[in-house]
Amino acid sequence: MKFPRTHTVEEISKLISCYFVGDRDFPVEGMNEIHVVTPGDIVFVDHPKYYDKALQSAATVVLINKEVECPEGKALLVSDDPFRDFNKLTDHFKPFKTSDSNISKSSKIGKNTVVQPNCFIGNNVVIGDNCVIHSNVSIYDDTIIGNNVIIHAGCVLGSSAFYYKKRPEGFDRLKSGGRVVVEDNVDLGSLCTIDKGVSGDTIIGEGSKLDNQIQVGHDTVIGKKCLIASQTGIAGCVVIEDEVTIWGQVGITSAITIGSKAVISAQSGVSKSLEGNKSYFGTPADDFRSKYKELASIRQIPEIIKMLKEKS
């Protein structure tokens, strides 16, 4: 998420009541999670295990809970609770705005686009030309939808990220200030739910087709011409490259990459990154040849046990 204008690290420190290390005029242009940061961004870190990763990332401002040696060309914001203060910045730069109508006056809807009854279209939503938005679809603030997109009944675009920090008093939600971006020629089946990014974009690539009842987590990027069948659940920060096929009831863990033209069979559980141009099945998912060898070995176990008993 980029700010409307460049701020100084001193200005940001005053917003969240913490102190800074570095030049008071050090420029701050935005804030992002570590996997999408660019120079000028703030990234937050609150566990020593991840200090080095944050300090060595592309982010040039690190919101951290301990004063450490500041890398050259960067600045620190030292806070007793970076998670809380990252939320404060989201509230400041991307505050929640109530709507007073089903279709916000600030939204933009393209030529020949049909919006069926009982839809909600939030603030600053942009919908392209020749789209069909079926009934009872909810499109939250700042969502971008391209041309020739079909969204079937009951879809929700722009829900908050499922991202929590466990505290003694309960779970603390990391607030979401990102967007959902749906590119041209995408079809979304009924009851799909697509969470917005925490600070970046959740993207459905051009020409991709999603079946009914699919969950797409925050900051996930789905490539072009992907085909995803019903009841698939995709966690946050996943990268699915172009022309991937995912069959029904597949579960995909967070922060992994599925290579282009991979095929994942129904009810597979994907727990690690997968290469492209291969077919996979099972839990944990593996390529067909490896999985069939594994199954063949398992089938031999009763015979091996029988042989061992006979020998004894």
- In the predicted model, residues of the chain with pLDDT beneath 50 are none
pLDDT at 309: 81
Of the candidates 186, 180, 101, 191, the residue with the CA atom closest to the CA atom of residue 141: 180
Q: What is the pLDDT of residue 227?
A: 98
pLDDT value, residue 206: 98
| pLDDT in the model for residue 297 | 84
Structure tokens at 239: 């990268």
What pTM did the predictor assign? 0.91
Q: What is the pLDDT of residues 45-58, one digit of tens each?
A: 999 999 999 999 99
CA pseudo-torsion sign 241, 245, 249, 250: negative
DSSP state, residue 123: T
Q: Check residue 159 and give its pLDDT.
A: 97
**Active-site residue list:** 218
What is the structure's pLDDT at 70? 94
Structure token digits, residue 93: 């730069």
- How far, in Å, CA of 285 to CA of 295, rounded? 13
Strand 150-151 relative to strand 187-188, pairing: parallel
What are the backbone dihedrals phi and psi of residue 5, each rounded to the nearest 5 degrees, phi first?
-145, 165
Q: Which two tokens stand for residue 213?
A: 């009842």
Determine the pLDDT at residue 296.
Answer: 84
Q: What is the pLDDT of residue 28?
A: 97
The pLDDT score that the predictor gives to residue 184 is 98
- 14 phi and psi, to 5 degrees? -70, -35
The whole-number pLDDT of residue 288 equals 83
Longest dimension (CA), the chain: 82
Contact 278, 299 (CB under 8 A): no
CA-to-CA distance for 19 and 102, rounded, in angstroms? 43
For each of the domains in the chain, give its residue range(s) and CATH number, in order of start.
2-93 (3.40.1390.10), 108-291 (2.160.10.10)
* Mean pLDDT of the residues in the chain: 95
